[in-house]
A and B are shown apart, each in its own frame.
Chain A
Amino acid sequence: MNSLAPFIMILPLLGFVTVLVGGRRLGERGVGIVATGAVGLSFVAAVASFVVLLHDANREVTVTLFTWFTVDTLHVPAAVLVDPLSITMCLFVTGISTLIHLYSTAYMAGEKDYRKFFLYLNLFVFSMLTLVLANNLVLTFVGWEGVGVCSYWLVSFYFDRDAAASAGKKAFVYNRVGDIGLLIAMFLLFTHTHTLNYLGVFSATSMLSPTVATLVVLALLLAATGKSAQIPLFNWLPDAMEGPTPVSALIHAATMVTAGVYLLVRMSPVLALSSSGRLTIAIIGGLTAFVAATIATAQKDIKKVLAFSTVSQIGYMVLAVGVGAYGAAIFLMVSHAFFKALLFLGSGSVIHSLGGEQDMRRMGGLARWLPLTFPTFLIGWLTISGVPPFAGFWSKGDVLTNVFAHNKPLWVLGVVTAVLTAYYMSRLFILTFRGHERFREVTHHHDPHESPLVMTAPLVILAGLSVVGGLLDLPWAHGFSLTHFLSPTFGFVAPTAVQSTALQTGLAIVDIAAAAIGLFAAFTIWRSTVESATFEKAFFERVWRWDDAYDALLGRPLTRVAHVSSEVVEDRVIDAAVEGLGGSVRRSGEGIRKLQSGLVRQYALAMVLGVTVIVVYLVGRVR
């Protein structure tokens, strides 16, 4: 029995509780050690669980901690499902979290909310691991909401800044809209299969009619677009860059945004039932990848470029899920975690060295000032652009190969996006590290300083992983590859198409060509200029006016509805009804009050009239 698995989740929770209770006494150093240590030990537990799982013949192990609740036929345990997919997720989540925790101890040093930062970070890791390790949809939902809330807290960490506060709110609201999808999917699944345990659902897929399955898939897709920032719920991610850079690296590059993809991959048996659902997923993924890449070409802020790049890369993952290449999607997820975290942390290092500058127009020429950041960032740049032999080439290539086998138009879109990816990343690289030292105009006296070891060590590690990451799933190593490891999870799903080596080589050459075109274009255009109106279209910079569209379609009408509700409905209808009721009682009371004139004769008259009525009645009865 893999009883170590629950520890993966519990250790960050313990870290959270320790920092919560004793944070003030521990001091900055202590908090950093406790938090990083908790996640580090969690990683060790994950590795141990992985080793145990490798030697276990049964590749799906459930460890039940306790029963959370049982209502009628719904039985929800707090249980952990240890299988290749969840262990893979745990490994890279805890690994990268440890590196980022380490990085943050130096990056956030001196902040007055240092302890709070690590509190949130540990809680976030706990929620993410709950999400990934849960064996039923309800517990996953708990983790899902947990990461959403921690993301909100961390994005609006500098909450006295208006931009940060509203960015956090935006992230949370978009996430919430997506959550409706997950809830609907849970309701539909429970109605038809009467269970929410993954294994139970998967064995009961025959109870789902194609229509229901499609609805479930679309609902899950909605949830995934919310959490993983795909069309139509992606605009929160760029705004979320208001949070500190380690947050962007951890949450918005490596972990939370992959939760959506994880959910879809986990529910692959249900996806298998609906081809229209899968097609929708693929289209959404492809479109998002393309749109986000175009937007990234026109951004001026270094973190915004990386944010849209994340959206674009996740688009690739979603596209892979859509065509059924689950192994490729996970492979890209893992390698993306490496190089995107590397790029974000590297940009954090750059920003840190320039004292907080994020606009690329005021950078340049940093290569000689940042001897460790520069080479690691270079490796990250080459990886994401798809240059062999780095991990990006293999993982992106894997995705595109699978897409080619199923859907040619989307493959074309994918290749175009790859060109754009190479282009905008090269633009970023050039503007930041090469060219004139434009930052001098702002920081006259200070030279940029390299970051401390605690910050550069994770960069080096991540760079190393980006270099060798491709080994995880080489196209020709069928026995020893990630896809093979993951296959029990997708065992009852149609395996990805195996293509001829020639075709694969041909597609690889196309990928290399795409990368080359992008690099070349960027170097040509951006060698001398800093701003270019033709190549930085305002339309792209304004996120295809997506935010404006939402504002016009939803924001303003809803605000008007709110105004109407508060002024018309609230004041004139509800208040009028309530006060009208009270007022009418009061008025009738005042009217009746006039009967009490205090005049005896009137009272006597009333009595006489009353007697008259009685007498008339009696006479009537007699007659």
Chain B
Amino acid sequence: MLAATYAIPDVLVFAGATLLILVGAVGVIALKNPVHSALSLIMCLLGVAVAFLSQYADFLAAVEVIVYAGAIVVLFLFVIMFLGVDKSKHPHVEPLVGQRWLAAAGVVVTTAGLITLMASSHWVGGVVAASTGGATLATGAGNVTQLGDSVFTTYLLAFEATAGLLIIAVVGAVVLARRERPVEDDTADDLETEEVDS
């Protein structure tokens, strides 16, 4: 069925992406060692990048690899090593009663529901079915141009806001990670020589 309707290369690419993604995701949640989890996350992110590529999101695929896999996961690894939790043990027993079962049940039902919604609703059948299948994206101006146009014209405000957000994040991280300095005892020295600051 698959082979008859769809082009084989596309299917293969999709299958590969799927494999990477799912194995990576499962690895993240199942592996005990945080470093292994981080590496598994990289694998997943690579799969997501491939999926982006096949959907005409070239720039995003690149950003995914550079920023996500390259910077964020590296940050994760850095913190893991810094804190030294790669060697710590985790007990296998779940202390909270019923957490795993309820979580599994909730997640499975939600996912199934989402899939059902996707399958049965007009997401697939209606508007989406009538779409051009990304023809504009594929054949229009280059992906970077299109994306740049969008970011710097339609979504300019959001762009500026994210700039501010990043600064806040950097400042926050510095403040949070700073060690407390010991309080200096300078009251006795400065009483006589203290100057009035304007």
Contact = CB atoms under 8 A, between A and B. Distances in A.
Interface string B58-98: 00000000000000000000000000000000000000100
A619 B103 contact: no
Contact of B110 (A602, A608, A623): A608
Interface stretch (A207-215, A518-526, A610-618): A610-618
B99 A622 contact: no
Contact of A619 (B106, B107, B116): B116
A602 B120 CA distance: 32
A599 B96 CA distance: 9
Contacts of A55: none
Contacts of B102: 605, 609
B151 interface: no
B106 A612 contact: yes
Contact of A615 (B99, B103, B109, B120): B109
A615 B96 contact: no
A209 B107 CA distance: 86
Chain A interface mostly: helix
A609 B107 CA distance: 8
Nearest to B114: A615
A600 to B, nearest CB: 11
B96 A609 contact: no
B117 interface: yes
B55 interface: no
A599 B117 CA distance: 32
Contacts of A619: 113, 116-117
B96 A616 contact: no
Contacts of A594: none
A14 B140 CA distance: 113
Given A599-B96, A601-B96, A609-B102, A615 B107 contact: no
A241 to B, nearest CB: 82
Nearest to B120: A622
A608 B102 CA distance: 9
A59 B60 CA distance: 119
A605 B117 contact: no
A313 to B, nearest CB: 91
B113 A609 contact: no
Interface residues of B, number: 14
A616 B113 CA distance: 6
B54 interface: no
Given A608-B107, A612-B110, A602 B121 contact: no
Contacts of B110: 608, 611-612, 615
Contacts of B103: 605, 608
Interface in B171-185: none
B113 A618 contact: yes
Output the residue of B107, B113, B117, B120 with the most chain A CB within 10 A. B113
A612 B108 CA distance: 9
A603 to B, nearest CB: 11
A605 B104 CA distance: 10
Contacts of A611: 106, 110
A608 B96 contact: no
Contacts of A609: 102, 106
A615 B109 CA distance: 8
Contacts of A615: 109-110, 113-114, 117
B121 A622 contact: yes
Interface of B: 96, 99, 102-103, 106-107, 109-110, 113-114, 116-117, 120-121
Top 8 nearest A-B pairs (CB, nearest first) are: A615-B113, A608-B106, A612-B106, A619-B113, A612-B110, A609-B106, A612-B109, A619-B116
30 contacts: A601-B96, A602-B96, A602-B99, A605-B99, A605-B102, A605-B106, A608-B103, A608-B107, A608-B110, A609-B102, A609-B106, A611-B106, A611-B110, A612-B106, A612-B109, A612-B110, A612-B113, A615-B113, A615-B114, A615-B117, A616-B109, A618-B113, A618-B117, A619-B113, A619-B116, A619-B117, A622-B116, A622-B117, A622-B121, A623-B120
Given A601-B96, A616-B113, A618-B113, 7 more contacts: A602-B96, A608-B110, A609-B102, A611-B110, A615-B109, A615-B113, A615-B117
